[in-house]
Amino acid sequence: MIAEVIQVLINNATIQGKVGQNKAGSTYKVFPVVCPQGEDLNWIVCALTSADPAACKDGSLTDEYFDAICYAKKYDHVNDMGRTMISVLQGYEDNFFSDIQFQTHRDLWDNDRQAFVRVVSFKGSKH
């Protein structure tokens, strides 16, 4: 699911403008679980947090919970990134997702990176 969430974010022009491209210029700075070393702020990482197993014979999961975590040098930037992510993902539907719903968010400080952090939690439902 995280790969699909990352694709939704990377393909959004507003998100692209807020995070910019990685140093290699090969992708926008939205990563699974952790940002590679050496990247400059701002960026987003996405990670699964839990799942509700579906009662179906193949054992596939239909609902999974994930965090999309913004890192930025300035609080205004992390706040704007978080709000934009909610706008992009809330209610999103496509061939993979039947729905994405915003759950909650919180602010943190990353002392090692000297960065403001916004953790935005979502529930993603798959077809």
Residue 51: strand pairing partners: 64
Question: How many angstroms from the chain centroid is the CA of residue 4?
Answer: 10
The Cα–Cα gap between 30 and 10 comes to 7
- The CATH number linked to 70 is 3.30.2000.10
- The upper half-sphere exposure of residue 45, i.e. CA atoms within 13 Å in the direction of its Cβ, equals 14
Task: Please count the structural domains in the chain.
Answer: 1
Q: Which two tokens stand for residue 61?
A: 């999961």
CA distances to 57, 59, 68, 87 from 73, rounded to whole Å, are 47, 42, 17, 22
Which residues, 6+ apart, have CB-to-CB distance to 54 below 8 Å? 60, 61, 62, 63
**How confident is the prediction along the chain (127 residues), in pLDDT tens digits per residue?**
899 999 999 999 999 999 999 999 999 999 999 999 999 999 999 999 988 766 455 666 678 899 999 999 999 999 999 999 999 999 999 888 889 999 999 999 999 999 999 999 999 988 8
Of 44, 39, 41, 45, the closest CA to residue 14 belongs to 44
- Domain hosting 92: range is 2-126
Residue found by looking up tokens 């729905």 in the block: 99
What is the pTM assigned to this prediction?
0.91
